[in-house]
Amino acid sequence: MDVSATPLTPRRRTRQISLGSVKVGGDAPISVQSMTTTKTGDVDATLQQIYALAAAGADIVRCTCNDVAAAEGLAQIVPRSPVPIVADIHFHVEMALAALEAGVDGLRLNPGNLRKPEEIKLVASEAKDRGVPIRIGVNAGSLHPDLYARFGGATPEALVESARMELAYFQEVGFDDVKISVKASSVATMIAAYRLASETFDYPLHLGVTEAGPLPGGLLKGTAGIGTLLAEGIGDTLRYSLTADPVEEARAGRTLLEVLGLRERKGLDLIACPSCGRAEVDVIKIATEAQAALGALNLPIQVAVMGCVVNGPGEARHADLGIAAGKKRGHLFIQGQIIRVVPEDEMVEALVEEAKKILEQGVEARLAARDHSAEAEAAADRAALLDDKGDDANRVNAKIERIRRRGD
């Protein structure tokens, strides 16, 4: 699929920072973040989750650093992690300094929790000396009481002002290796806050709807907020905050970027029709089975499962591979061209087999190897299906003629 024509607003250009090997902002790809749910002091369990997150699409992983055991764990985790590690800091300046000693690639500070100016500036100075960036992580649920009173609540203006105040402390010590987030659990507030932040700062923005909740509602909230902003060209990195296995966060973030054309496809993209009266098979069942079989292989291709051959191959011609149901059989196609016909009970198996061959041999080779009689079979099935279930489609001319006669 040609994603270059996706009608998104050009991305807003920001400063660029580096978290280990991952660049954020500027012209760097938008990155996906998630956070471990293990105790950071449990090194093996935390590393296992970090590797799972990286495999699901996370570019950066955040770990809590809330006690000495967590800081000691980070010292062992950082050199063994496949992705940069950010330490999450809330109330204790000592933990921020310990995380820096542990060698983390970044810090996240919550201005609503770490409030003493001298402590904030101390952390910024230490981070500057080590070349470690800091995210100013403003959260509507933990806004400084003074700002809450001043703005009459956790308004977009209050969130942005919190980030501006923190940034002013950083600038006092000459530290500007910064990214900013202004998260809220309200999607509307979050969108408004980030729009204001994008007008106020030229630092990279980390997007997220905080405390979005469990699936499926949390996924919808996160997508509504993050997707809206990305479409407007706002955002340099993102995290879905789900009450679920964090692997779901990484997977959702990666998928969102892929469907918007903002990152190259890394895994399977399965599309399927919603089914209708023309469907010759149980589309939901076939699509679910295909998702499971192809998803397990983690193939970076787009696959279509269509319920009938009337419009299926044409509607899904952009797909790398697809199948459409005919009369008790499936019509396998590549980029809209029928390559062979298979029995209905072999449809999923045929998709998996052909997907592997496409990756091994390439699209052109597979098209060259197609069964040239398959198109004629497909045409016959389409004609039969239209005659049986396509009354509106194949009798439209007669209807138009009757309408014209009534008008005379």
pLDDT digits 0-9 by tens, 189-239:
999 999 999 999 999 999 999 999 999 999 999 999 999 999 999 999 999
Which CATH code for domain 8-259? 3.20.20.20
Average confidence (pLDDT) over 386-400: 59
Region of poorest pLDDT, from 269-273, 381-385, 393-397: 393-397
What percentage of the chain has pLDDT greater than the value 70? 93
**pTM of the full structure:** 0.85
Quick one: CA torsion of 139, 141, 146, 148, rounded to 10 degrees?
100
Q: Write down the pLDDT at residue 277.
A: 65
pLDDT tens digit sequence for 99-150? 999 999 999 999 988 999 999 999 999 999 999 999 999 999 999 999 999 9
Q: What is the pLDDT of residues 339-364, one digit of tens each?
A: 999 998 899 999 999 999 998 999 99
* Residues in CB range of 249: below 8 A, 6 or more apart: 34, 35, 53, 58, 239, 240, 241, 242
Structure tokens at 262: 């903002």
For 398, the token pair is 């007669």
Nearest 10 degrees: Cα torsion 171, 175, 178, 183: -40
The answer to which of 8-17, 82-91, 234-243, 279-288 has the lowest mean pLDDT is: 279-288
Spatial CB neighbours of 365, under 8 Å, sequence gap ≥ 6 = none
In this structure, what token pair is assigned to residue 86?
Answer: 């950010």
DSSP string, 45-61: HHHHHHHHHHHHT-SEE
For the chain, where do the domains classified as CATH 3.30.413.10 start and end?
269-393
Q: What is the homologous superfamily of the domain 269-393 according to CATH?
A: Sulfite Reductase Hemoprotein, domain 1 (3.30.413.10)
Which residues of the chain form CATH 3.20.20.20?
8-259
Three-class SS of residue 261? Answer: coil
Query: What pLDDT score was predicted for residue 324?
Result: 87
Average pLDDT, the chain: 91
Higher pLDDT, 286 or 282: 286
Residue 194: its H or E element: helix 187-200
- At residue 132, the pLDDT reads 98
Q: What is the dihedral of CA 233, 234, 237, 240, to 10 degrees?
A: -100
Query: Distance (Å, rounded) from C-alpha 368 to C-alpha 45?
Result: 49
